Amino acid sequence: MKKLGFGFMRLPLKDIENQESIDLEQLKQMIDLFLAKGFTYFDTAYVYHHFQSEIALRECLVKRHPRHCYTIATKLPVRSLKTVEEQQQIFDEQLEKCGVTYFDYYLLHNLGEQHYKMAQKFDSFRFISEKKAEGKIKQIGFSFHDRAELLDKILTEHPEVDFVQLQINYIGLG
């Protein structure tokens, strides 16, 4: 896999004031160019673009390209969970919104200190492991935006994860 992913967090908009006004025609052109250049990794999440990002992915990618030509990553919003059962409801909704029968990569979203506690409370690592065993997820992991010590703790406590997606910000000095 080439080492660049296409994020569905900041998509082109028809109206800059409306995060739901995704410019689908421009997005289709961007996706086609991305695939033409040999890239295949598409990253979305349940909450992106006011819950419309996964639908845009379905309309502009899934409905237009064979499933073997790309990989999809999406995320479970542990910070929004109120019950254990919601995980299944959200997961099923995500499959439908994305228009797929499985996810290549599935992440627990943004595990910082508080969200990690919620993932523990709702046994979210068990949930995604079960979905992997069912064949609904190929690779399980989490996205991370916190301290190195917490990352080490999570990885030590959950060796079952296949990957971690890190947010890295580059700052130009000088």
Residues 6+ apart with CB under 8 A from 105: 43, 71, 72, 73, 74, 137, 138, 139, 140, 141, 163
Q: Residue 120: what pLDDT? A: 98
DSSP letter assigned to residue 19: T
Tens digit of each residue's pLDDT (9 = 90 or more) over 11-29: 999 999 999 999 999 999 9
Q: Give the pTM.
A: 0.92
Beta bridge partners of 171: none
Q: Which residues of 107-135 are buried (b: 16+ CB within 10 A; e: fewer)?
A: bbbbbeeebbebbeebebbebbbebbeee
Neighbours of 9 (CB within 10 A): 11
Tens digit of each residue's pLDDT (9 = 90 or more) over 131-143: 999 999 999 999 9
Q: What is the maximum alpha-carbon separation in the chain?
A: 51
Question: What is d(CA 108, CA 56) in angstroms, rounded to the nearest whole number?
Answer: 21
Question: What is d(CA 168, CA 28) in angstroms, rounded to the nearest whole number?
Answer: 27
Percent of the chain with pLDDT over 70: 95
DSSP letter assigned to residue 67: G
Q: At what angle do helices 113-121 and 148-157 cross, to 10 degrees?
A: 20
Which architecture characterizes domain 5-166 according to CATH? Alpha-Beta Barrel (3.20)
In degrees rounded to 5, what are phi and psi of residue 43?
Answer: -120, 120
Q: Residue 33: what pLDDT? A: 98
Instruction: Write out the H or E segment, with its range, that includes residue 37.
Output: none
Neighbours of 44 (CB within 10 A): 27
Question: What is d(CA 77, CA 45) in angstroms, rounded to the nearest whole number?
Answer: 8
Q: Residue 79: what pLDDT? A: 95
In degrees rounded to 5, what are phi and psi of residue 106?
Answer: -135, 130
Coil vs helix vs strand at 23: coil
Domain boundaries, the chain: 5-166
Tens digit of each residue's pLDDT (9 = 90 or more) over 92-130: 999 999 999 999 999 999 999 999 999 999 999 999 999
